[in-house]
Amino acid sequence: MKEFWNERYSQPAYAYGTAPNKFLETQLPGLKPGSILMPGDGEGRNGVYAAKLGWEVTCADLSEAGKAKALALANANRVSLDYRVGDIEILNFEPGSFDTIALIYAHFAASRKAAIHQQLHSWLKPGGIIILEAFRKTHLEFNTANPNVGGPRELGMLYSPEELFTGFPDYEVIFLDEPDIRLQEGIYHDGTGAVIRYVGQKPNLKH
CATH number of the domain bearing residue 98:
3.40.50.150
pLDDT of residue 207: 40
Kindly state whether residue 126 falls inside one of the protein's structural domains. Answer: yes
| Whether the predicted pLDDT of 11 surpasses 90 | yes
Kindly state whether residue 31 falls inside one of the protein's structural domains. Answer: yes
Element (H or E) spanning 12, and its range? none
Kindly state whether residue 191 falls inside one of the protein's structural domains. Answer: yes
8 Å CB contact between 107 and 143: no
Kindly state whether residue 206 falls inside one of the protein's structural domains. Answer: no
8 Å CB contact between 63 and 6: yes
pLDDT of residue 1: 82
8 Å CB contact between 55 and 35: yes
Kindly state whether residue 90 falls inside one of the protein's structural domains. Answer: yes
User: Which whole number is the average pLDDT over 72-87?
Assistant: 97
Kindly state whether residue 207 falls inside one of the protein's structural domains. Answer: no
The length of the chain, given as a count of residues: 207
pLDDT of residue 89: 87
The confidence band for 90, taking pLDDT boundaries of 50, 70 and 90, is confident
The confidence band for 206, taking pLDDT boundaries of 50, 70 and 90, is low
pLDDT of residue 205: 74
pTM of the prediction? Answer: 0.95
Structural domain total, the chain: 1
User: Which whole number is the average pLDDT over 141-160?
Assistant: 94
Instruction: Note down the domain range covering 13.
Output: 2-201
Kindly state whether residue 75 falls inside one of the protein's structural domains. Answer: yes
β 98-104/82-85 pair status: unpaired
| Whether the predicted pLDDT of 126 surpasses 60 | yes
| Whether the predicted pLDDT of 173 surpasses 90 | yes
Average pLDDT, the chain: 95
Alpha carbon distance 190, 206 (integer Å): 45
Kindly state whether residue 118 falls inside one of the protein's structural domains. Answer: yes
β 98-104/35-39 pair status: parallel
* Amino acid at the residue 109: A
The confidence band for 92, taking pLDDT boundaries of 50, 70 and 90, is confident
